[in-house]
Structure 1
Amino acid sequence: MKKIIFVLTSVIASYVLNAQVKTPAPSPHCTLTQVVGLTDVTVDYSRPSAKGRPVFGDLVPFGKLWRTGANLNSTVSFSEDVVINGTTLKKGKYAIFTTPKADMWEVIFYTDTDNWGTPENWDVNKAAVMTNVDPIALNNNVETFTIGINNITNDSATLDISWEKTMVSVKFTVPTNKAAMASIEKTLAGPTAGDYFSAAQYFYNSNGDMAKALEYVNKAIALNKQESVPFWHLRQKSLIQAKLGDKAGAIETAKLSLAAAEKAKNADYVKMNTDSIKEWSKK
């Protein structure tokens, strides 16, 4: 009987330790991802609700730094540099802090994003961008705190912060034209040496068309300056030549790869080329 009671007690204790009570969060977590032009923008924040309380000037005092949300820092991430009010904000992740006032808000993008609430010690050097925006009075009531990315064009959007009957909107521009032109120029310029090398390597490793493999590796080599042809490109060419039965050509290419590998002090390629030259030199 004592054994049964002990086992039951152990089972109940284990259940109590592992059980987790699940209830709705007072300020639910939200993640928003939006593409603006060619820039990925991600907002991560918690959303408190007013619940009948007056918000701005009361729950959120005027003239004091506000966490702009609840719980951990509200953050925004940009995959490319953006421009806010004439100032470049480098790509990366930022905490969003604000100082609300009745007639003007200061919006701050802060590099330290690991605070619970506002930083204990404010460091002005971590304020990457600070900008002033006019609050907009809303006709409708926003019960739950909301951050959105709106007014999207190819080159810009707005980061909108809304709660109660107030919204502030921070416009940012993205480098769409620069990125698009770079992509167009790169694509229209044709394959790179690396592209041709990868194609040659694929044909070789998959026992595909060795003539094509040789054609592509030759194009890869041709796109490099003669004095700076990578030793791994030459190594790959020698392997292809050997597989095609051109042992003499393979040896000459391997010697070039060996010399380049020795210059780069790459012991692995020195050994591989040395071993291959010995093997292909056998009659």
Structure 2
Amino acid sequence: MKKIIFVLTSIIASYVLNAQVKTPAPSPHATLTQVVGLTDVTIDYSRPSSKGRAIFGDLVPFGKLWRTGANLNSTVTFSEDVVINGTTLKKGKYAIFTTPKADMWEVIFYTDTDNWGTPDNWDVNKAALVTNVDPIALGNNVESLTIGINNITNDSATLDISWEKTLVSVKFTVPTHKAALASIEKVLAGPTAGDYFSAAQYFYQSNGDMNKALEYINKATTLAKDEVPFWHLRQKSLIQAKLGDKAGAIATAKLSLAGAEKAKNADYVKMNNDSIKDWSKK
């Protein structure tokens, strides 16, 4: 009986230790991803609520650096460079800090994003971009802090911070035209050597049409701007061997070997030497 009681007690104790009480977070976590033109913008933050409290000038004092959220840093990530008030902000992830004032807000994009709240030691060199924005008084109350991307066009949008009866809107422009032209020029220029190499490699590895594979790898080698990469030549030799052209495979493998030796790539040197030795037997 004592043994049974001991076992039951152990099970209950284990359950108590492993059980987790689930309750709503005071400041729920939120993530937003928005495409602006051809730029991906992601916002990650926690959303405190006013709960009847006065916010700006009280809970969030005027003139003091604010974390602009709760818990870990509120962050924004841009997949491309953007321009804010005439200044370029490089693509990447930034913590959003602000200094609210009654008539003007300072919005700061900070490169160190791993703080809980504001940094212990503020580093001005990590403030990638600082811009001043006039706050806008809202007619309605915003209960929970809201950071969003609005007013979206092909070339711009606004990063909006709203809480209580205040809205701060930071306009940014994105390089849509430049990115679109680059994409158009790349596609219309036709496949690259790397594209043909990948196609040839796929046909070879999937035991597909080896004649197609040879056609594609020949196009890849033809498009090489300087010398043909030794890994392209290695792939060509494998395709030739599979097609039964051992003499051609050996000749190509020797070219690949020379390139691998020049690049001091021991793996390809060994593979080519092994293949040349093997193909020479047959």
After TM superposition, the score normalised by the length of structure 2 is 0.96
Aligned to 1:72, the other structure's residue is in SS state coil
Q: Give the structure 2 partner of residue 2 of structure 1.
A: 2
**How much does 1:194 deviate?**
0.9
CA distance in 1 between partners of 2:28 and 2:149 (Å)? 19
Superposed, which structure 2 residues align to 1:86-105 within 5 Å? Answer: 86-105=86-105
Query: Structure 1 residues 265 and 137, CA, compared in 2 at 3 Å: closer, same or farther?
Result: same
CA distance in 1 between partners of 2:142 and 2:171 (Å)? 21
**How much does 1:245 deviate?**
2.2
1:84 equivalent in alignment to 2:84: yes
CA deviations 1:30-89 (Å, max 9, x no partner) are 111111111111111111111111111111111111111111111111111111111111
CA distance in 2 between partners of 1:212 and 1:253 (Å)? 18
CA distance in 1 between partners of 2:213 and 2:219 (Å)? 10
Aligned to 1:226, the other structure's residue is in SS state coil
Query: Structure 1 residues 215 and 165, CA, compared in 2 at 3 Å: closer, same or farther?
Result: same
CA distance in 2 between partners of 1:205 and 1:71 (Å)? 50
**How much does 1:121 deviate?**
1.3
Q: Report how many aligned residue pairs link the two structures.
A: 282
**How much does 1:259 deviate?**
1.4
User: Which stretches in structure 1 are left out of the alignment for 5+ residues?
Assistant: none
Query: Structure 1 residues 242 and 59, CA, compared in 2 at 3 Å: closer, same or farther?
Result: same
CA root-mean-square deviation: 1.4
Query: Structure 1 residues 274 and 71, CA, compared in 2 at 3 Å: closer, same or farther?
Result: closer
CA deviations 1:176-215 (Å, max 9, x no partner) are 1111111111111111111111111122222222221111
User: Which stretches in structure 2 are left out of the alignment for 5+ residues?
Assistant: none
CA deviations 1:235-254 (Å, max 9, x no partner) are 22122222222222222212
CA distance in 1 between partners of 2:192 and 2:240 (Å)? 22
CA deviations 1:213-268 (Å, max 9, x no partner) are 111111100011463x1111112212222222222222221221121122112222
**How much does 1:281 deviate?**
2.7
Query: Structure 1 residues 121 and 225, CA, compared in 2 at 3 Å: closer, same or farther?
Result: closer
CA deviations 1:2-52 (Å, max 9, x no partner) are 222222221221121111111111111111111111111111111111111
CA distance in 1 between partners of 2:250 and 2:7 (Å)? 76
Larger mean CA deviation between 203-212 and 38-47 belongs to 203-212
Aligned to 1:147, the other structure's residue is in SS state strand
Query: Structure 1 residues 226 and 169, CA, compared in 2 at 3 Å: closer, same or farther?
Result: closer
After TM superposition, the score normalised by the length of structure 1 is 0.95
**How much does 1:270 deviate?**
2.0
**How much does 1:273 deviate?**
2.0
What stretches of structure 1 move > 4 A for 4+ residues in a row?
none
Query: Structure 1 residues 238 and 143, CA, compared in 2 at 3 Å: closer, same or farther?
Result: same
| Identity, % of aligned positions | 90
